[in-house]
């Protein structure tokens, strides 16, 4: 019973990781649809492309074990880790330079939130 559980542990871990990643992707998608302006929208979409895809890739890596596919998946995740935040940054920075302003809302206590 216990060894069986230990054997299936990597698979469970992989599935859990992929479900978490998919959840992040769904959350990011909802955020892009519901957020009011580009800065918060990009904040939501950056969740999709970093955390979401990395969790899914990590799950796939656990599933494929010690094979060449794992090395390729690792290379892809490294590539995503470098490019996704930078592309998000570049897009938002360009929006700022082009004159987009974040929407600022004053709440009832007088505090300011984006």
Partner 1 sequence: MSFLFFFTLSFVLISAVLAVHARDLFVSTIWLSVFSLMMATNFFILDAADVAITEAAVGAGVSTVLFLSALALTGEKESGKRVYRLLPSAALFTLALVLIIVSLEHPRLGDPSAPVHQHIAPWYLSETPVLIDIPNVVTAVLASFRGYDTLGETLVVFTAGIGVLSVLGFRPKRKVVVTAAQVSRRTVRIRDHLILRVVGKLLIPVIMLFALVVQFHGEYSPGGGFSAGALFASAVMLYGILEGADRSIKAMPQLIMLRLAALGASIYIFVGIFGILLGSNFLDYSVFSSDPVAGQQLGILLIEFGVGLTVASVLVMVFNAFAGRDTY
Whether the Cβ atoms of residue 39 and residue 114 lie closer than 8 Å to each other: yes
- Interface with partner 1 (CB under 8 A), residue from 10, 83, 102, 103: 83
- Residue 103 binds partner 1 (CB under 8 A): no
- Residue 90 binds partner 1 (CB under 8 A): yes
Q: Is 52 exposed, middle or buried (CB count within 10 Å of its CB: 0-12, 13-18, 19+)?
A: buried
- Applying CB under 8 A, which part among 10-18, 25-33, 34-42, 89-97 lies near partner 1? 89-97
Give the Cα separation of 12 and 35 in Å (integer). 34
Residue 42 CB: number of other CB atoms within 10 A?
19
Binding to partner 1 by CB under 8 A, coded x per residue (else -) over 38-67, reads: ------------------------------
> What residues make contact with partner 1 under the rule CB under 8 A?
79, 82-83, 86, 89-90, 93, 97
């Amino acid at each position: 019973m216990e060894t069986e559980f230990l054997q299936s542990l990597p698979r469970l871990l992989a599935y859990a990781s992929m479900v978490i990643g998919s959840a992040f992707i769904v959350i990011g998608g909802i955020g892009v649809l519901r957020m009011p302006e580009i800065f918060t929208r990009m904040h939501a979409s950056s969740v999709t492309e970093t955390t979401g895809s990395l969790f899914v890739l990590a799950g796939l890596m656990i599933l494929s074990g010690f094979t060449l596919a794992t090395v390729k998946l690792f290379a892809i995740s490294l590539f995503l880790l470098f490019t996704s935040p930078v592309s998000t940054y570049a897009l938002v920075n360009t929006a700022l330079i082009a004159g987009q302003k974040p929407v600022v809302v004053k709440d009832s206590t007088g505090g300011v939130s984006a």
